[in-house]
Structure 1
Amino acid sequence: MIELIRTNDPVVISFVESLLRDAGIAFFVADQNMSIMEGSLGILPRRVMIDEDDRDAARQLLKDAGIEHEARSDDKKNA
């Protein structure tokens, strides 16, 4: 899996989850439990992970929704 986005913003996470779900793209939100453990202060970012084969389609979804700036650039190391 590769990291599509990393953010502290729960609204962005929710929006991206909705976009991916509606497009039928499987995803996993990593570090969600760590955010709860820290008291939901928003210090630790959550990551939306997708299959590498879905990278282009997912990035196009973000672009079409006007939030392509949220996507991790390809030159950043993906977890």
Structure 2
Amino acid sequence: MKELIRTNDPVLISFLLHRLREEGIEPFEMDGHMSFMEGSLGILPRRIMVVDEDHESARKILDEVQGSGNG
């Protein structure tokens, strides 16, 4: 598995997970429980992981998702 992104932005995480699944890529969210344990203050970032074979495609989707907020 490779890390795609590490962020504490819940909106970005939610939309990214949706888009990845829409394209047939099954992401794995790490550190979500740690974020919950720290009181949902948003201090600890969550990591989105994908299998190695999907990393390049997932990276393109991430770029698209991050760019969609700028237009």
Superposition TM-score tier, normalisation by shorter sequence: 0.7 to 0.9
Q: Name the aligned partner's letter for residue 20 of structure 1.
A: L
Name structure 2 gaps, 5 residues minimum: none
Q: Which residue of 1 aligns with 2:9?
A: 9
One-letter amino acid of the structure 1 residue matched with residue 10 of structure 2? P
Structure 1's unaligned 5+ residue stretches are: 69-79
Give aligned-pair identity as a percent: 55
Partner secondary structure for residue 47 of structure 1: strand
TM-score (norm 2): 0.87
Q: CA deviation at 1:62?
A: 2.0
SS in 2 for 1:18: helix
Pairs within 5 Å for 1:40-51:
40-51=40-51
> Aligned equivalents of 1:49 and 1:60: distance in 2?
14
What is the TM-score normalised by the length of structure 1? 0.79
What is the one-letter code of the residue matched to 2:45?
P
Counting matched residue pairs gives: 67
Structure 2: distance between partners of 1:9 and 1:60? 19
- Structure-to-structure mapping, 1:1-79, within 5 angstroms: 1-65=1-65, 67=66
What SS class does the counterpart of residue 22 from structure 2 fall into? helix
| Coordinate RMSD, CA, aligned | 1.2
Query: Which runs of at least 4 in structure 1 moved beyond 3 Å after TM superposition?
Result: none
